Amino acid sequence: MQKVKLSFSMVLIVVILTSFIRPSASKEKLQWMTLAEAEQKMKSEKKIILIDLYTDWCGWCKVMDKKTYANADVAKYLNEKFYPVKINAETKETLTWNGKPFSFNTQAGVSNYALYLTKGQLSFPSTVIIPKEGAAPQTIPGYIETKDMELVLKYFGEGNFEKVAFRDFQKNFISTWK
């Protein structure tokens, strides 16, 4: 009986002590911003812009949020090297980029900005990279897994897009993110 009381007491002490321990905040969280915020930040610090172009009804967009963008390596790298922007392609809000307003296109059912980014080839999700000021948007349609996102992010984030063709970079790239 004494042994049972002692075991129960030990378990109780462990439970009480561990209840005060909080999990470490080591999981990096992606800091999404609006297009206007990214454009404003570009005035003081030049960075690459990554746009997650999504819709509310897109299942693969939700998977990409839960898997790829929730990955700690992806989030940390994006927060450091990019201005990550999330845009609902079906927003009815007028978006402004480089002083030009983009309204909702009633015929297409999407923002004219989404049409501009994708050159009219809508696909969701789409990842759009604007590598530098004045550069044309680089659109990657479809779901991107973490290992493939690493390839894309490091190609642009390390400035390789200005030095080597993507196919050549891809041949020698070894992914480390899981």
The tokens of 175 are what? 């992914």
Radius of gyration of the chain (CA): 22
pTM for the structure as a whole: 0.83
Q: What is the mean pLDDT of the chain?
A: 88
Other beta carbons less than 10 A from residue 21's beta carbon? 7
Look up residue 33 and give its DSSP letter.
Answer: B
Chain segment 40-59, per-residue pLDDT in tens: 999 999 999 999 999 999 99
173, 166 contact by CB (below 8 A): no
* Residue 27: predicted pLDDT: 73
Of 4-13, 158-167, 168-177, least confident by mean pLDDT is 4-13
Look up residue 125 and give its DSSP letter.
Answer: S
Distance CA 169, CA 113 (A): 30
139 phi/psi in degrees, rounded to 5: -105, 130
- Assign 123 a pLDDT band (cuts: 50, 70, 90): very high
> What sign does the dihedral 53-56-60-61 (CA atoms) show?
positive
* Residue 22: predicted pLDDT: 38
Distance CA 173, CA 152 (A): 10
The proportion of the chain whose per-residue pLDDT surpasses 90, expressed as a percent, equals: 83
